[in-house]
Structure 1
């Protein structure tokens, strides 16, 4: 007992704050594939967007250290609010030292906005709270007018570069997947994609739309129990399982024809079609569906609101905005479908229909000589069973 007490007294006092191993990556999308629960995510992500924040929350990180400001003030981005609301500490604006001096596995301690490495102060940032996030969002909203002006100029530049594709469909490749007259469901692993896919189950079951996965959206379809018909994207965030599921592959390339994702498919001996375009992969998927004659395009997880457009950056915002104008007559957001669409046959109606069919079948069988013999046989067996039960209980 004395030895144990002495050991407890000699143990060094526990230092305040959060202490955990780190996982470092300048691209948050790549980091979320490697980070483990309980680790500290070290990122360099100005204006942390909603999708990245939700991915970090899903990874159950212990804390997030950001070399850049999580909110620059350009627009009210949603990422910091999501992290802080989930109870994940966010230390902001720590500078490039955290990216240059840290490696995966280094043990950090965070306390009151200070980052310690081996008891050495490495960087000082701002620990975000609900109050600081709300104040930053209020300031950012005031800057929306400037962002919209910049967006207008960027949109005109994008339209000049891509007018032939947007207006006339020039450059859209030929594919073997037939879309003429069919509904197309375009799935992006973005905002609330899981919830949207769940609510659309009755629609998918009844209309059998063509399923298009945009990069990781193909894995979202597989996770939901569906097999994509078409996979569109730069192929950097889609799994090998999805690529080999039998879907036709369309590689989104830069306007000059460069396609970094093409080398991966060639290593896997997979055939693909190249689609050079300056927009985003979700825009390419919508333009492809529209050009190939889809009668309706239902979008899951895509960007729909002004803040969501801004979360993509001005260039991505311009391409998405113009693409939506181009296919607007056919495009429906998944949330609208789930709210307006109701299955034409409810579960209760199906149950009543089956019950009526069973009753009709029994009546029809009972009207035949063979059916009468069969029911007489059942009555004899029932009476015999009752007799045996009575005999058993009486004994």
Structure 2
């Protein structure tokens, strides 16, 4: 299996970095509060690429992780993303990081230490290109164990959710019409902004059902669209987007508990629940397939084995089986953009313009009005030549 290689980058400066501390044990939730220049304080073992991309996009000054950003279980891509972007990463700072820091504290990062005022509150390991490369190389050696665990998780999920996968049992009755239509499912994942941008002509022409998975609904609104449906646990969708009029489907646990429903009640927004052990993006695909969508286009979702492992969750087994279930109608956004992109050469465009001009000329020549117009033009041309002849 081919993995991304670590490009040579300039190592981050080892001088002190000052900023405001923003803390959250869930990186996805923290990103919504971060501002450029803040220092992100996270508790994220095996930092994945999606989380790292979001931290880089916000413009954080540094990332402080209470846990190891790479545990060695598999070659996760998050540390590489941060190092290549020049964002200082301090690892394995310990639980004291969350005990000694408070939201909004002005802090400094000096070498491998975290300071509040002149007091060192935590020390960790400062990562650079070389240390990340070593961790990636060590992790590759453990891939076989992870693949075995992935296969075991897949079989366990199949036992739990075979009725949903095979017969659609448990899929809620929704108002949004999918039958015979294309469905565009947006997850705030890998390269989602670029994919949405290249799909604009496709969306204009086919007018697919727009489904936002959690923060993917905000991504649709940011791109200028209004989602038809929002599905997920509702922990990373803004209040304004939840009130946009889209149909809401809350991802619930298999036993029926749906923590996201409390937020819907608070906002007075009607919602359905969808109990299942799968991920929210998988539920969106299964729902679209069960309701008769003719094509499912995925933006920002997980498509390769490295991306499955990069999420670092047993639940990713559902993603593998879901793709087997809906694979006949599932297309990645990058594939749609390549297939849909117009490839008109310059010579073809010139030929088209010349043909249009010739057609207009023929129409003018055979019509009565056209003949009269040509006679006027001919007389004007003769007069012009006569006047030029008089001058010379």
> Please, what TM-score do these two structures have when normalized by structure 2?
0.86
Q: Is the 8 A contact 2:182 2:297 kept in 1?
A: yes
**In structure 2, C-alpha distance between the alignment counterparts of 1:272 and 1:342, rounded to whole Å:** 37
**Residues 281 and 355 of structure 1: CA distance in aligned 2, closer, same or farther (over 3 Å):** farther
**Residues 201 and 349 of structure 1: CA distance in aligned 2, closer, same or farther (over 3 Å):** farther
When the two structures are aligned, how many residues end up with a matched partner?
375
**Residues 142 and 266 of structure 1: CA distance in aligned 2, closer, same or farther (over 3 Å):** same
**Structure 1 residue 170 and structure 2 residue 169: aligned?**
yes
**Structure 1 residue 68 and structure 2 residue 64: aligned?**
no
Alignment of 1:344-355 (within 5 A): none
Which residue matches 1:19?
Answer: 18
Q: Is the 8 A contact 2:226 2:244 kept in 1?
A: yes
Which residue matches 2:78?
Answer: 79
**In structure 1, C-alpha distance between the alignment counterparts of 2:55 and 2:284, rounded to whole Å:** 27
Q: Is the 8 A contact 2:46 2:312 kept in 1?
A: no
3-state SS of paired residue (2:227)? coil
- Deviations along 1:87-121, whole A, 9 cap, x unmatched? 11101001111111101222222222112222112
> CA RMSD, aligned part only?
2.9
Alignment of 1:314-393 (within 5 A): 314-343=313-342, 356=355, 360-361=359-360, 364=363, 367-370=366-369
Structure 1 position 43, deviation (Å): 0.9
Q: Is the 8 A contact 1:203 1:343 kept in 2?
A: no
Q: Is the 8 A contact 1:154 1:314 kept in 2?
A: no
**In structure 2, C-alpha distance between the alignment counterparts of 1:29 and 1:65, rounded to whole Å:** 15
Q: Is the 8 A contact 2:15 2:111 kept in 1?
A: no
Which residue matches 2:144?
Answer: 145
Q: Is the 8 A contact 1:151 1:314 kept in 2?
A: no
Which residue matches 1:8?
Answer: none
Structure 1 position 270, deviation (Å): 2.5
**In structure 1, C-alpha distance between the alignment counterparts of 2:121 and 2:28, rounded to whole Å:** 25
| Runs (5+) with no aligned partner, structure 1 | 1-14, 385-395
Q: Is the 8 A contact 1:42 1:66 kept in 2?
A: yes
Q: Is the 8 A contact 1:183 1:209 kept in 2?
A: yes
Q: Is the 8 A contact 2:252 2:258 kept in 1?
A: yes
- Deviations along 1:151-209, whole A, 9 cap, x unmatched? 22222221111111111111111112222222222111100111112222333333332
Which residue matches 2:129?
Answer: 130
| Runs (5+) with no aligned partner, structure 2 | 1-13, 384-392
Which residue matches 2:102?
Answer: 103
3-state SS of paired residue (1:34)? coil
Q: Is the 8 A contact 1:212 1:228 kept in 2?
A: yes
3-state SS of paired residue (1:110)? strand
Alignment of 1:38-77 (within 5 A): 38-77=37-76
**Residues 203 and 347 of structure 1: CA distance in aligned 2, closer, same or farther (over 3 Å):** farther
Further displaced range: 346-355 or 232-241: 346-355
Which residue matches 1:221?
Answer: 220
**In structure 2, C-alpha distance between the alignment counterparts of 1:352 and 1:244, rounded to whole Å:** 50
Q: Is the 8 A contact 1:181 1:295 kept in 2?
A: yes
**In structure 2, C-alpha distance between the alignment counterparts of 1:102 and 1:144, rounded to whole Å:** 36
Which residue matches 1:10?
Answer: none
Q: Is the 8 A contact 2:279 2:316 kept in 1?
A: no
Which residue matches 2:282?
Answer: 283
Which residue matches 2:192?
Answer: 193
Which residue matches 1:159?
Answer: 158
Which residue matches 2:10?
Answer: none
Further displaced range: 119-128 or 219-228: 219-228
Further displaced range: 189-198 or 144-153: 144-153
Q: Is the 8 A contact 2:184 2:210 kept in 1?
A: yes
**In structure 2, C-alpha distance between the alignment counterparts of 1:348 and 1:240, rounded to whole Å:** 51
> Please, what TM-score do these two structures have when normalized by structure 1?
0.85
